[in-house]
Amino acid sequence: MARLGSIESDAPLRSPQVLGLGDRVFVATPDAAKTRARVALEAIRDRHSRAPEVRALEPSPPPARTSGEAPRQADKRERLRRLLLIVPAARRRPGITVEQLARELGLGTDELRADIELLALVGRPPFSPDDYIDISVDERGRVAVFLDQSFSQPPQLTALEALALATAAQETAPADPAVKFGVEKIAAKLPPRARELYSTLAHRVAAAAPVPRGTEELLATIRRAAETRREIALEYDKDGRGQTSERIIRPRAVLDHAGRWYVYAHDVGKDAARTFRADRIRSARETGVAFPDMGPLDPGLFERDTLFFPTGAERAVTVRFSPAVEAWALARHGEKARRIEGGGAEASIESAGESYIVALVLSFAGEAEVVAPPDVRAAVRDAAQRALRHYLD
């Protein structure tokens, strides 16, 4: 049993999970788990009370050769994004020239012409390509787009097509009430047998992690504010300790990253991009202030293992990992991690404060250690000592 302040939980929490929460949570029972937690905290405190051991690192591997590599996946996604933008942009402005369309989309004219040539091949056998999209550039450099007339009538979907469409919509904005309504409408329009198959298959597909309980309307409010460019005042519990502060933000996106929901926004007070965990947002309201268009988002920001946006206040913290978790550290930190001769790994982690590093090291229950700088090493020692008070009474 883990005790969180005055709250007791029978949930199967592992000791490392509990240790990462510092002195806010401790293991009450069973005695064996309580003893393991105490021993781990004592080891962390004692190790961080003395100077770190000097360990030799293995040489860095030579850089990988890049010649002859296939195009990166990110490049393919970027081209698909461009292709999806070209057709509606050209249809909105009949007679637009290649140069005008290229400027509007932020592309080079040669790049745009290559994309138009590729779009001209879109089709599905046994029909010719222009049964779906007929796009061309005339002798005066004007872009013309014609869509097949069947696009003006809603198609009769099969169960699998409906599921694919619903899954794509839920992946885009699962917390938006409008998306929920649309998905329900898709299912309602299916014939009875197709609806039954759709329902069966839908239970097997998870397009995204579920949003935190009770945040559906809150996230929908923030998403609408992002679309209409309205500032939002958040009551935000940054550290999850129940202490909130107001943050004025200009929301850009609501997204699911690695199973956790975030709001990505420009923090007006910090004058910088920030991410806010959805489960720590207590309320959100529009301030009535509009903000200018900040341009398109770079998809590459969200294609990384972690959502980290430098603030300028970061510094490097060296964390040493034991052989037991060496593989995790190398995979997690990539080029910023090096193997230690004889086993283990060291990683350089950028952090603007101590709290993240302290929680990380404690959560490894003695399998991780801060090597430098000394003040962060001391912060881990002090956090372990505070947590130990629960086990020594």
For 21-34, what is each residue's pLDDT tens digit? Answer: 788 888 888 888 88
Q: What is the pLDDT of residues 272-290, one digit of tens each?
A: 888 898 888 999 999 999 9
Fold match between 73-152 and 216-298? no
Q: pLDDT confidence of 1, banded at 50, 70, 90?
A: very low
Token reading at 222: 């923030």
Query: Which CATH number is 216-298's, of 2.20.25, 2.30.30, 2.20.110, 2.60.40?
Result: 2.30.30
Given CA atoms 362, 363, 367, 369 in this order, what sign does their dihedral have? negative
List 251's β-bridge partners, or say none: 265
**pLDDT band at residue 198 using 50, 70 and 90 as cut-offs:** low
Decide if pLDDT at 19 tops 80.
Answer: yes
Helix (H) or strand (E) segment spanning residue 390 = helix 374-392
Mean pLDDT of 235-253: 87
Asked whether the beta carbons of 105 and 85 are under 8 A apart, the reply is yes
Q: Which residues pair with residue 9 across a beta bridge?
A: 2
Q: What 3-state DSSP class applies to 381?
A: helix
Decide yes or no: CATH 1.10.10.10 for domain 73-152: yes
Specify the range with the lowest mean pLDDT, choosing from 52-61, 187-196, 342-351.
187-196
Sketch the domain layout of the chain as residue ranges: 1-58+309-393, 73-152, 159-202, 216-298
- Output 223 or 15, whichever has higher pLDDT: 223
